[in-house]
Amino acid sequence: MTTIAIHNGHVVDPALGLDGIADVVIVDGRVARIGPNEGDAVIDAERIDASGLVVSPGFVDLHTHLREPGFEYKETIKTGTLAAARGGYTTICAMPNTSPALDSRAAVESVLREADASALVRVLPIGTITMGRKGKELSPQGELRDAGVVALSDDGDAVGDASLMRHALEYSTQFGLPVAQHCEEPSLVKDGHMHEGWVATRLGLRGRPASAEETLVARDIALASLVGAHLHICHVSTAGSVALIAAARDRGARVTAEVTPHHLTLTHEEVAFASDYVHVQYNTNAKVNPPLREEADLEALAVALRDGIIDAIATDHAPHASTDKDVEFDLAASGLTMLETSFGLSMRLVHAGKIGLPALIERMTIGPVRAWRLDERPGLQGLGTLAPGALGDVALLDPSAEWTVDPATFASKGKNTPLAGRTLTGLVVATIAGGRLVHETERMVAL
């Protein structure tokens, strides 16, 4: 039996309503005690002095691409979960755009076996909505649920057929699985490569309009309301989508939503301009779907996150090899690597006064857990909190630490980030997953 006693940290646990100095004691992978001076009575423990640090439940990511099986040159379960640990994440939900896609019990079980063998943090697979993610035939949802999936998604390929999506949502009500949709109407984004706006016009690139997202958000909210299903909107990126989600929730629809750190903090100008706004570039590391939008969208997303209209921050960690990005813009793969920069980038909202630190932590811990009711699944009771008996998942954070993003030091195989060379304020000092120390920086060693 192993024991870790974390002393003198500023514990922020939104699920408990706790925001103050306390000790956290983890015994045999579970939280045993939490409160002032609780660690003093513990003997034979590994002791961590968290003075000056924030102690949070481990982060939970509803949207991660681990690429394995089939695309191990981009990422593996081992490298992806190491990146997650460095980012403070102790539970990640793995998207099914693998090869083969996660559309069968065998495919799901293969991911779980590899996670058992090599993952540093908890991996929860997401199954496909349709077979092969081809949008033609529904996947066997009952089989996938029994295999261990926590949600259904065709990920970057939206289910464009409205009738098929209606049946997928209706089918899901039998199994209690959220259906997570990438909301971009395929006919409106065909051959588009970035946000449809003045930057795309200047660069001569075909755009992906905000209306493409809002059209599918509206359609799928209507379908989910019709059949009483749980619809989850992936990576919301527009002010119009926020308004649709808010109205649906006001009507009592079972609609949840996530937003990424990059859609909260970066605009479409990242694609074109260096810091001087003179030298024009075609930055493929800022190419992502849905695309980076405009300042007004960022403001609406931040307000929605603060007010709880958006339930969770999700990374949409999408690692690519350099050969996928170091090409012409229209040929480049879409996606950013984000697990290791998520907290530091999201902290921009806190430092700008747009959201409080406890609220930000809520959207990265118990918020995603409640959105998908993950803590109701076997073995996940106590996920997203530090309550006694909860899973021993902890992130130690320094909200004021400055650090410079260097993709060469990433644990992820994906170095595709537009943040290279930039200074972020907010550092994950250490991560404990299931009672094991899986990440620590020199900052913690020095304590």
Q: Which residues pair with 436 in a beta bridge?
A: 433
Rg (CA), the chain: 21
Q: Which of 155, 316, 324, 398 is catalytic?
A: 316
44 is known as an active-site residue: no
Residues 6+ apart with CB under 8 A from 285: 325, 336, 416, 417, 418, 420
Which residues are identified as catalytic? Answer: 316
